[in-house]
Amino acid sequence: MDFKEVWNRIKERGIELSQNKNVLLYLFFVGVATIFWFLHSLGKEYTANVHVDVKYHNFPLDTEPQEKTTKDLTLNVSGYGFSLMRMQLKSIFYDYKVDVSSLRKRRTNNKENLSYELSISAIRNQFEEQLGSGIIINSVYPEDVDFEIVPMGLKKVPITSAVKIEMKSGYMLSDEGFVNPDSVEVRAPIALLDTLKTIYTESLLIDKLSSSFKKKVKLVSPNPEVELMTEHTTVQYEINEYIDEEIIIPVKAINFPKNVNVVIQPNEVKLKYRTYEKAKQNIQEDDFLLVVDYNTINDLATKIEVQAIHLPEGITKVYMSPRYVNYTITYE
């Protein structure tokens, strides 16, 4: 197809269009009239039934619905077309909210059900801001709403840190660390509440620490049905540069009968341990208790194990030399 042929076709279309301009003009005015009619209609007042999804919340602390708390509700409403159209569009994407604590309970013989009256006044008060201006609620269907419930309880549960820390070379933990608060009140179905032994923090790994550490961390609910009254706690660890120390401690004999004499050789051992400067200042020889216990004697062995019954706070990496000592027993 050459340029001349294309040009001729454009001219033919133009002639046809000019011949049908009356049709185009008619369609234009019909469209304008339709728009004005639609706008005029929206300005009138109407009454209509609108189906909305309603989410109920704020149930009593000692109960919890077993089922979904979002239910269908039909509102008979009056309002101008613009307002009704806005409400219809909003109801597609929005769940209207109702606080059941402000509703009146219905009496029921079934203790496993909660029933509430959906009075016009209650729904109007709750929906007033959600609906916006220009909407009047005439009636509500259904007039009550029921929920199957499960008994709920409260319990204080200890918190366990799931934070793992690693120190920079040359540093040590001065204590096991602590959490504050060290417990959290939880709300859960009573059957589940009895199984809760601890609530863990979120898992974190903090490495290369060379100074004391303090951080606010989240608490993790072990089950979607377990509600934590507090969402965070603070974990804290004291970290110090360590020093290696050693000390000579005498060994004591315990649980030997009165008619049995024992001689230990050697009667003292060397302890090597790791500590930090602040703790070192408070460590005394009396803080250590090393013993040999008559109840651990093996008649086939010539040595007995030395046991550390008590060690002072603030020490770690304890090494004992020797670990076993010779003993001789005589009877009176």
pLDDT tens, 1-15?
555 564 455 555 555
Does residue 159 share a domain with residue 126? no
**Between the CA atoms of 185, 191, 195 and 199, what dihedral angle is there, to the nearest 10 degrees?**
-30
Q: What is the CATH number of the domain that holds 230?
A: 2.170.120.40
Tell me if 268 is assigned to some domain.
Answer: yes
CB 314 within 8 A of CB 174: yes
Tell me if 32 is assigned to some domain.
Answer: no
* Residue 19 pLDDT: 52
Indicate the pLDDT class of residue 213, thresholds 50, 70 and 90. Answer: confident
Residue 301 CB-density burial (10 A; 0-12 exposed, 13-18 middle, 19+ buried):
exposed
Does residue 305 share a domain with residue 222? no
Tell me if 284 is assigned to some domain.
Answer: yes
Tell me if 229 is assigned to some domain.
Answer: yes
Tell me if 227 is assigned to some domain.
Answer: yes
275: helix, strand or coil:
strand
Average pLDDT of the segment spanning 135-149: 79
Q: What is the CATH number of the domain that holds 119?
A: 2.170.120
CA distance 112 to 89: 37
Does residue 230 share a domain with residue 252? no
pLDDT greater than 90 at residue 269 = yes
Q: Which residues have CB under 8 Å from 147's CB, separation 6+?
A: 56, 59, 65, 66, 67, 69, 113, 114, 115
Tell me if 304 is assigned to some domain.
Answer: yes
Of 50-59, 106-115, 187-196, the poorest mean pLDDT is in 106-115
Does residue 128 share a domain with residue 74? yes
Indicate the pLDDT class of residue 261, thresholds 50, 70 and 90. Answer: confident
Q: What is the CATH number of the domain that holds 301?
A: 2.170.120.30
Q: Which of 237, 263, 298 is the last residue of a domain?
A: 237
CB 251 within 8 A of CB 292: yes
Does residue 117 share a domain with residue 60? yes
Tell me if 94 is assigned to some domain.
Answer: yes
Instruction: Give the domain range for residue 215.
Output: 152-237
Q: 103-134 as b/e, with b when 16 or more CB fall inside 10 Å?
A: beeeeeeeeeebebebeeebbeebbeebbeeb
Q: Which of 181, 205, 237 is the last residue of a domain?
A: 237
Q: What is the pLDDT of residues 92-114, one digit of tens each?
A: 777 878 888 877 777 666 666 67
Tokens of residue 100, six digits: 């059941």
* Residue 37 pLDDT: 43
Does residue 119 share a domain with residue 68? yes
Indicate the pLDDT class of residue 197, thresholds 50, 70 and 90. Answer: very high
**Between the CA atoms of 51, 57, 59 and 61, what dihedral angle is there, to the nearest 10 degrees?**
170
Number of domains in the chain: 3
Tokens of residue 299, six digits: 């008649």
Does residue 157 share a domain with residue 79? no
Helix segments in 1-141, DSSP class H: 3-19, 21-42, 81-93, 120-131
Does residue 138 share a domain with residue 201? no
pTM: 0.56
Tokens of residue 22, six digits: 């009356």
Tell me if 183 is assigned to some domain.
Answer: yes
